[in-house]
Structure 1
Amino acid sequence: MSRIGRKEIIVPNNIEITINPPEILVKGERGKLSYSISELIEVQAKNKIIKLTTKNTTPKAQAIHGLSRSIINNMIQGVSKGFEKKLIIQGVGYRSQMEGRNLILNMGYSHPVIIKPPDSINIKVENNVNILISGINKEQVGQIAATIRSVRPPEPYKGKGIRYENEIVKRKVGKAGK
């Protein structure tokens, strides 16, 4: 049985949850999110506490048990606090800028790379090298951050590229280091 799935979810006072199987709707001060629950999972809500249980003990049900709990917990965190990721651009001549809602990256290619975020994601650029991605859906925030990073991932010799804020890039010694 999933250890994560067995944990109870405590709902803050400012969050409203509606459970209409097979869907759960979470409303908060930042917006609303919904998730379609598998028929293998049963959801009970009592006194601002949500508990998930499996209907049977198949491996698929046990796998979905922890996943569903994590997704519902992330939805509650997203509509109350939100999620954000910070990317840092390193390298001479590498820069980014906003044009409307689109992010334009100049990363040493012959053309600028344009990234169009979904409506629920906000992107801010500070000093042309710091990119802040925020939103209420953790999956979308992480996916947009990964898409931006994939334009020019950090390389191991000089460390140039786009990296997450606390990412550690293992540096290699070049041919002069022998």
Structure 2
Amino acid sequence: MRKRLTRFLSLALVLGLLWFGTAACASQPPSQFDQAQQESTQRGADAVTKESTKGGEFNVFFPQAEGEYERVFAQEKQGFAEIKLKQNGQDVAVMSINDVKNNPTAANKFKASTQAIDGFPVVQQGSTATALLVGDRYQVKVLSRSPSFTPQDREAWLGRFDLKGLENLSARN
């Protein structure tokens, strides 16, 4: 009886190991995180570099809100800062400054620019975003969040940033 029990347990152990080994080797569909990682790698985005500017340093370069507009600081991290622009309490745009040191290929799109604001190259990104590059280092972007916020509005707000101050920051860093 004891011999049969030992044989049974041994067989169960072998079958369990075989099943576990087969299940571990079976291909699993990629998770949403695997896909995001693959896409960011394909775009050439690297991890945030230590040399990128701290997001808090960008806050002074954002335009001041006036009249029916208000600014809401939304996000700040190494190499990036973002502000929501509200008009009469409703989100109309998002403004950001991004250190392209974290993704150097992001500056390539400005090489073919035919438009400039205060001497800095400007590009349209789709139908809702306008961006400019300061000192080959900082991408300043305004994204429309409302159909009423036009490309002309985006360009006007880009011109309100302290672009010369940001250029001086890029020269120091």
**Same fold per superposition (TM over 0.5):** no
Query: Counting strand residues as a fraction of each chain, which structure ranks higher?
Result: 1
Query: Counting helix residues as a fraction of each chain, which structure ranks higher?
Result: 2
What TM-score results when the alignment is normalised by the length of structure 1?
Answer: 0.23
Which structure has the bigger radius of gyration? 2
